[in-house]
Amino acid sequence: MSSTISSQRSNPWISCRKSKETSKLRLFCLPYAGGSPLIYRKWGSRLHAAVEVCPVNLPGRSPRASEPSFVNLFDLSQAVGKGILPHCDKPFAVFGHSFGAMLAFEVARYLRRQHLNGPVHLFVSGRRAPQVPDEDPPTYNLPRDAFIQELKRINGTPKEVLEHDELVEMFLPMIQADFQACQTYEFTPEPPLDCGITAFCGLTDDEETRERVEPWREQTTRSFSLLELPGDHFFIHSSEDLLLQTMDRQLQQLLRRLP
């Protein structure tokens, strides 16, 4: 067994069900607020065989539930950047949905500031461009019951969690921490990234609309594409097949351009 694969299995930041020694490209996947690596459990078998899907384990959720969650996006982006660094020994792309999209963007910028290898492509999903201000009032600091009602409204937390007090008490601090990290984020202008960006948005997402997602093009000097998929903010689930088909085509294009 190679030292790379051995270290990959022991790295708490990376969750790969089966390492691919023959992979040519890694895809690091970051969850939405309150999400876990299980979101991406099927992706490895549904994308090109040369792509190794590597879900990223964030503190505060399984399998790192005993660790405190980050409440600052910049601090978390640095920690993630350092965590994935041992596995940036081959070309890689990054995918993130909603909160994960902002995190993916800041991880890429952190790696660049450190003069380290950055992603060959960034997939950002269900999130407005970072320079587009969020004028809605924060919700992470709402009273418990009001925050739970907000989770029900956005329809991103399983009902079986919200209907059981023990599960609510277990997951609520982590979800609130993710919301705080995202809702207190302040964009700092830097030069655009030197990698292509593909942005996705939901056709019936009332908040992260096409008009708010389209300005992601300003964050790259390379190619940019924007695709609308059927569904609301969580089209990542309802339109997963179409999302993966689209990503697979673009990943194969990236593979063909690799040395």
Kindly list the catalytic residues. 98
- What is the C-alpha separation between 136 and 140, in angstroms, rounded? 12
Report CA-CA distances (Å) from 57 to 76, 112, 231.
Answer: 12, 22, 26
- What is the C-alpha separation between 88 and 42, in angstroms, rounded? 22
- What is the C-alpha separation between 258 and 48, in angstroms, rounded? 14
Could you give the angle at which helices 99-113 and 165-183 cross, rounded to 10 degrees?
50
Query: How is the chain split among helix, strand and coil, in percent rounded to 5?
Result: 45, 15, 40
Instruction: Pick the closest to residue 92 from 136, 29, 162 (CA basis).
Output: 29
**Contact status, residue 177 vs residue 171, Cβ threshold 8 Å:** no
At 179, list the tokens: 């919301």
Torsion of CA 86, 46, 122, 255, to 10 degrees: 80
Instruction: Pick the closest to residue 226 from 127, 102, 103, 133 (CA basis).
Output: 127
- What is the C-alpha separation between 116 and 244, in angstroms, rounded? 28
Q: How many beta carbons lie within 10 A of that of residue 242, not counting itself? A: 15
